[in-house]
Amino acid sequence: MVERLQEKGYGVTSVDGHGSQGQVKVVFTVVARREVRDIVNLIKMFNPQAFYSIEEVGYVEKGIFPLRQSGCDSGLMRLFRPFRKGK
């Protein structure tokens, strides 16, 4: 799942942990509200029994975020794509 999120352009942080039923992997990523349903479907595809939490983020700075074919990826924003860090 982490690899799939990265392939889609998301920044992902994963941490190995220990839960009440053994080893777990804790995965953090920030997604736009309009993409939450797609990410939840991805989580369920990889692990239908996964525990996940969705929290509102008021402000984000310095991360890896995929450019989408929406209003923010049109016109002027497309010109800045070559200057994105990590690409």
Task: Give residue 15's pLDDT band: very low, low, confident or very high (50, 70, 90).
Answer: very high
pTM: 0.67
Q: What phi, psi does 40 have (nearest 5°)?
A: -60, -40
Instruction: Decide if 5 contacts 66 (C-beta within 8 A).
Output: no
Question: E strand or H helix at 86, and its extent?
Answer: none
Task: Give residue 32's pLDDT band: very low, low, confident or very high (50, 70, 90).
Answer: confident
Domain residues for 6? 2-83
Q: What is the mean pLDDT of residues 59-69?
A: 71
Number of domains in the chain: 1
